[in-house]
Structure 1
Amino acid sequence: MRSALIVDDHPVIRLAVRMLLERNGLEVLAETDNGVDALQLVREHEPDIVILDIGIPRLDGLNVISRIRAMEVDSHVLVLTSQPAEGFCQRCLQAGAKGFVSKEEDLQNLVIAINSISAGFSFFPADVLNAGQPNLVSEAELVERLSNQEIMVLQYLASGLTNKQIGELMLLSNKTISTYKSRIQQKLNLDSLLELIEFARRNDLAPRQDI
Structure 2
Amino acid sequence: MKVIIADDHPLTLNGTKLFLESLKYRVVETAQNGVKALNLIHIHQPDVAIIDINMPGLDGLDILKAVKEQKLKTKIVLLTMHKESSIYQRALELGVDGYILKEFAIKELDTCLQNLNCGKKYLNTIIESDLIFDTNKMEVGLEKLTVSERKVLELIANQKTSKQIAELLFISEKTVEGHRTKIIEKLALPKEKNALLKWLILNKI
TM-score band, normalised by the shorter chain?
Answer: 0.5 to 0.7
Q: What is the aligned partner in structure 1 of residue 28 from structure 2?
A: 29
SS of the residue 1:74 aligns to? coil
Alignment-mate amino acid for residue 5 of structure 1: I
Deviation of 1:96 (Å) = 2.1
Aligned pair count reads 133
Deviation sequence 1:75-94 (CA, Å, 0-9, x none): 00011011115332211111
Identity %, equivalent residues: 28
In structure 2, do the counterparts of structure 1 residues 98 and 133 end up closer, same or farther at CA, with 3 Å as the change threshold? farther
Q: What is the aligned partner in structure 1 of residue 63 from structure 2?
A: 64
Query: How far apart, in 1, do the equivalents of 2:71 and 2:88 lie?
Result: 24
Query: How far apart, in 1, do the equivalents of 2:31 and 2:57 lie?
Result: 12
Query: How far apart, in 1, do the equivalents of 2:11 and 2:55 lie?
Result: 15
SS of the residue 2:104 aligns to? coil
Query: How far apart, in 1, do the equivalents of 2:34 and 2:65 lie?
Result: 11
Deviation of 1:65 (Å) = 0.4
Query: How far apart, in 1, do the equivalents of 2:5 and 2:134 lie?
Result: 29
SS of the residue 1:101 aligns to? strand
Deviation of 1:110 (Å) = 1.0
Q: What is the aligned partner in structure 1 of residue 42 from structure 2?
A: 43
Query: How far apart, in 2, do the equivalents of 1:129 and 1:120 lie?
Result: 24
Deviation sequence 1:50-99 (CA, Å, 0-9, x none): 00001011112111100011224210001101111533221111122111
Structure 2, unaligned stretches of length 5 or more?
137-205
Query: How far apart, in 2, do the equivalents of 1:75 and 1:117 lie?
Result: 11
In structure 2, do the counterparts of structure 1 residues 47 and 106 end up closer, same or farther at CA, with 3 Å as the change threshold? closer
Deviation sequence 1:11-58 (CA, Å, 0-9, x none): 111111111111112100100011111111000000101000010111
Alignment-mate amino acid for residue 85 of structure 2: E
In structure 2, do the counterparts of structure 1 residues 85 and 24 end up closer, same or farther at CA, with 3 Å as the change threshold? farther
Q: What is the aligned partner in structure 2 of residue 86 from structure 1?
A: 85
TM-score where L is the length of structure 1: 0.59
SS of the residue 1:25 aligns to? coil
Query: How far apart, in 2, do the equivalents of 1:66 and 1:133 lie?
Result: 25
Q: What is the aligned partner in structure 1 of residue 17 from structure 2?
A: 18
Query: How far apart, in 1, do the equivalents of 2:113 and 2:135 lie?
Result: 23
Alignment-mate amino acid for residue 127 of structure 1: S
SS of the residue 1:30 aligns to? strand
Query: How far apart, in 2, do the equivalents of 1:109 and 1:34 lie?
Result: 24
Query: Once structures 1 and 2 are overlaid, which stretch shifts more, 100-109 or 14-23?
Result: 100-109
Greater Rg over alpha carbons, structure: 2
Deviation of 1:133 (Å) = 8.2
In structure 2, do the counterparts of structure 1 residues 116 and 133 end up closer, same or farther at CA, with 3 Å as the change threshold? farther
Structure 1, unaligned stretches of length 5 or more?
135-211
Query: How far apart, in 2, do the equivalents of 1:106 and 1:5 lie?
Result: 16
What CA RMSD, in Å, does the superposition of the two structures yield over aligned residues? 1.9
Q: Is the 8 A contact 1:93 1:99 kept in 2?
A: no
In structure 2, do the counterparts of structure 1 residues 77 and 44 end up closer, same or farther at CA, with 3 Å as the change threshold? same
Which structure dedicates a bigger proportion of its chain to helix?
2
Query: How far apart, in 2, do the equivalents of 1:104 and 1:86 lie?
Result: 17
Q: Is the 8 A contact 1:85 1:102 kept in 2?
A: no
TM-score where L is the length of structure 2: 0.60
